[in-house]
Amino acid sequence: MDPLLQIFSAGASCRRSQNRMWIGLSLLVIFCPGCGGSANSSTATESVSSTAGTAELSANQAEAGTSNSDGTNGKSAAATVKHGRGEVWVDEKGQKWFGDVPLDAFFDQPYAVASDVTPLAGNAAITAVVSNLGSTDVPDPTMTEPPFKAPETETTPPPAGGDSWGDLISEVELDNEVKAIRNFLNENLQSVSNYNASMLMIPPKAATLAALAGVAIEHPNSVSWKADAKYVRDLGKQMNAETLRSGPKDQKRILELYEAMSDTLNRSRPAGLAEPPESDGFAEASEMRLLMHRMDEAEKRMKTEAGTDTALTSRKEMVAHEAALMATLAKIVTLPGYGYEDDPKFTGYAKTVVEAAMAIKGAAEGNDFATYELALTKVSTTCSNCHSDYKNN
């Protein structure tokens, strides 16, 4: 071979080797982007790719009869054209690309692959759990809650029913009513004329006195004459033992009973005073009709003397006293001996009066005229209905 031809052939082979080296280096840079796909890495890759493309073009121009396609990597010249990262394109061989990555590197149905929960062989425990689940079932976490435990509370006695003697009337209110009755009798029994003028008012006063003496016996708090309360009750009972008539005879009899009662209240009980019967109770000492007369007197007095907001404010002590007395007498008439303790209708009326009377007392103490007026009306309508149902009894 001609020496000159040998030198030219050797030079051509050397250039082809250099060209292949540059092309391989370019591909390596393209498929190995920088960490995180940052802008600096992308710029560097594009720069190297551009340099590689220039070197390849120069080598191909120098090599006569050489094909534009590179037989080593099978990638066409179109692959060297810059494509976007999210661009889908096809080279001249029909290969689909997604940016610079072959499309066949992705799964055809990625969601189906991701949802495939088929366990790997050899894990029987997981296989059993998965096989028991439906296609859309999600196992609920097991939550174990401690059993409910009621809060511990101290044992306390049940609250009072609200109608005990101490709830209805205080010992002070009770004693004040007895004093009022005592003063009334003292003023109207000193002469026959006074007695005759007040004769019809004496029986309700005496019956109320006897009833309150019975309450004093059972009241949780003490009055000064509690030890002699049974004698006071018996003296009030004797005042109504006979129907009163005008004239000196009954005036003298009632006066003598009053004086014995007054001495007993002063803790100077007369020596010859008879012992009261042990069997006596409220019904034996106080007639229901006379107690209801006193209840009616209380209602009328409240309406007359405390019929306005201003009057209630100035007379609230009187109203509270009358309401307490009304509630107490309303309870007494439901006790055994009067004959209505087993009558739910009658006891219902009485209970309503008790509750309304206590509402009156509370309203008076709180200067609440609206509540006072409403409760007083309740008393009136209840008493009217009761009298209508039991007027023949």
Segment 157-189, tens digit of pLDDT: 333 346 799 999 999 999 999 999 999 999 999
Residue 302 sits in the same domain as residue 353: yes
Same-domain status, 249 and 350? no
pLDDT at 215 over 80: yes
In this prediction, residue 227 carries a pLDDT of 96
d(CA 316, CA 367): 8
Average pLDDT, the chain: 78
- Same domain for 381 and 328: yes
Residue 33: predicted pLDDT? 47
| Residue 262 host element (H or E) | helix 248-265
pLDDT category of residue 393 using cuts at 50, 70 and 90: low
**Residue 50 sits in which domain range?**
6-65+79-105
357 and 318 belong to one structural domain: yes
- 178 & 281 share domain: yes
> Could you tell me if residue 247 is inside a domain?
yes
Q: For 302-336, how does the pLDDT look when each residue is reduced to its tens digit (9 = 90+)?
A: 999 999 999 999 999 999 999 999 999 999 999 99
Q: What is the largest CA-CA distance in the chain?
A: 183
338 and 312 within one domain: yes
Last residue of a domain, one of 285, 308, 342: 285
What's the confidence (pLDDT) of residue 284? Answer: 97
Asked if the structure places residue 98 within a domain, the reply is yes
CA distances from 89 to 30, 74, 78 (A): 16, 16, 10
Q: Buried b vs exposed e over 206-241: b needs ≥16 C-beta within 10 Å?
A: bbbbbbbbbbbeebeeebebbebbbbbbbbbbbbbe
Do both 169 and 277 map to the same domain?
A: yes
pLDDT tops 50 at residue 105 = yes
Q: What is the mean pLDDT of residues 96-106?
A: 73
Query: How large a percentage of the chain has pLDDT more than 90?
Result: 57
Identify whether 28 is part of a domain: yes
pLDDT score for 161:
43
pLDDT at position 308 is 96
Q: List the beta bridge partners of residue 98.
A: 88, 101
Give residues with Cβ within 8 angstroms of 114, minimum separation 6: none
pLDDT of residue 210: 98
Residue 195 to residue 186: CA distance in whole angstroms: 10
pLDDT digits (tens, 9 = 90+) for 226-254: 999 999 999 999 999 999 999 999 999 99
Query: End of a domain among 231, 254, 285?
Result: 285
Quick check: is 384 in a domain? yes
Residues 233 and 339 placed together within one structural domain of the fold: no
Q: Are 280 and 234 contacting, i.e. CB atoms less than 8 angstroms apart?
A: yes
Task: Say what the pTM is.
Answer: 0.60
pLDDT of res. 61: 44
Question: Which of the listed ranges 1-15, 98-112, 142-156 does the model predict with the highest average pLDDT?
Answer: 98-112
364 pLDDT exceeds 90?
yes
Q: How many domains does the chain have?
A: 3
Whether 254 is covered by a domain: the verdict is: yes
Q: 23-27, 143-147, 380-384 — which is least confidently predicted?
A: 143-147
Residue 123 domain flag:
no
| One-character DSSP codes across 153-193 | ----PPPP-S-SHHHH--HHHHHHHHHHHHHHHHHHSSSHH
- In the chain, DSSP assigns E strands to 88-90, 96-98, 101-102
More confident residue, 289 or 60: 289
Surface-to-core class of residue 154, CB atoms within 10 Å of its CB (0-12 exposed, 13-18 middle, 19+ buried): exposed
Which of 243, 258, 285 is where one domain is finished?
A: 285
State whether 188 and 267 are in the same domain. Answer: yes
My answer on whether 253 and 180 are in the same domain is yes
Higher pLDDT, 42 or 172: 172
61 occurs within a structural domain: yes
Domain check: are 249 and 296 in the same one? no
Are residue 173 and residue 269 in the same domain, yes or no?
yes
> For residue 329, which amino acid is it?
L
Which whole number is the average pLDDT over 139-163? Answer: 45
Phi then psi for 219, rounded to 5 degrees?
-65, 140
Q: What pLDDT is stored for residue 90 in this prediction? A: 82
Structural domain contains residue 271: yes
Q: Which two tokens stand for residue 326?
A: 């009304």
- What are the two backbone dihedrals, phi and then psi, of residue 230, each rounded to the nearest 5 degrees? -65, -30
